[in-house]
Amino acid sequence: MVGTIGVKSDSRECDSELVHIILREIGSSGGISFARFMELALYHPQRGYYASGRARIGRGGDFFTNVSVGPMFGKLLALQFAEVWERLERPRQFTIVEQGAHDGQFAADVLGALSESACFNSLSYVIVEPFPVWRDRQRDKLANFAGRISWGESVDEIDVFTGIHFSNELFDALPVHLVARDEGEWKELFVVLNGGELQLEERRCSGGLRPPIATVTSTPLSAGSDRCYSTEVQLVGPKLIRDIAAKLSRGVIITVDYGFCRDEFYSAERATGTLQVRAQHKKLSSPFERISCADISAHVDWTSLIEAAEMAGARQLGLADQHHFLTGILEGLMVPAALMKLSQADRRALQTLLHPEMLGRNFQVLALARNFTGPLSGFSFARGAGIDHGGTAAAST
């Protein structure tokens, strides 16, 4: 996605202070990587879209997520979390670490559901949250569970734990580098100021930056239309998954997001990449529109996360679309009597979470294990639950 912004004309729809911060950094360096631009736009400590508290989900916000549907998503994940506790042989200290917790609604839904579970007395809930505005909102939302909750500003701050690390739409919002194939050579796209507008400019890649593809002979990347191919490279996500795995003594990492395995991620169908910008449920044409007032995201390369986890001593436990993952929980962990007693609101929520044309196929669920013996019910119906190192989905075993 290539775009420009007339800084003066669009200033009303942007955080003007952050725009000036970005322009000063570009002026001092002659240009910044798109990953740096995305970091500033989303995570500048005071002005960024997420850091400032502007990020809004739900009908009145900028985008929907699973938690927007209601408490059913948290209730179903609570069943899966309780199964992890059982398979860990009921440890006395069982920790759920959530990262990207937004206002704490998912944590409230999970803790409410687990309060009736045998694992609740062993449970502590840790939220990784670097921004004060969200910690304050989380404390308000989770006041009834104050004795169970603690916070850390980063994964580095939390203790080694036994249990679960959970995230929902975390990795898609991490900064990405933009690269383009130009006559057989990879170029990185930098954000520059040209004629009073922010633009993307091709420059030679440094430090070996390029898509993590072992071979390009069977991909469109080696074809004669190289100049038309652009995509994203995320360096932050694999590092984060390694850091998380290093903190997990025994248990499971579960992340819910939208993405592709490597071969599909870098296929001809995505010759312009996966970057998207959203505000008020509408896709914007450029990342330079509504700076700090819009979400910027890119699909996840699942293969890169799996490979990074393996480097830290974890292994892939399962990968499934949300429809099959939640169906596995419903079939394996929710008793028929409970299903029969679901309210109409819960039934509607289930339909939204499961339906292929709603959220059921848009999202995937990846589980990574360390010193943990599966399987998990959520992957009972997984299709293509394994990934080889070439990025091709392999059949479940």
Percent of the chain with pLDDT over 70: 90
pLDDT digits (tens, 9 = 90+) for 284-316: 999 999 999 999 999 999 999 999 999 999 999
Tokens 């505000």 correspond to what residue? 279
Going by DSSP bridges, is the β-strand pair 295-297/161-168 parallel, antiparallel, or unpaired? Answer: unpaired
In the prediction, which pLDDT does 62 show?
75
Instruction: Compute the mean pLDDT over every residue in the chain, rounded to the nearest whole number.
Output: 88
DSSP assignment of 77-106: HHHHHHHHHHHTT--SSEEEEEES-TTSHH
The arithmetic mean of pLDDT across residues 105-133, rounded, is 97
pLDDT digits (tens, 9 = 90+) for 79-99: 999 999 999 999 999 999 999
In the prediction, which pLDDT does 397 show?
26
What are residue 367's DSSP bridge partners?
A: 254, 318
DSSP assignment of 176-243: -EEEEEETTEEEEEEEEEETTEEEEEEEE--TT-----S--TTSGGGSTTGGG-EEEE-SHHHHHHHH
C-beta of residue 232 within 8 angstroms of C-beta of residue 273 = yes
Tokens standing for residue 206: 């440094």
pLDDT digits (tens, 9 = 90+) for 313-361: 999 999 999 999 999 999 999 887 788 788 999 999 999 999 988 898 9
- pTM assigned to the model: 0.91
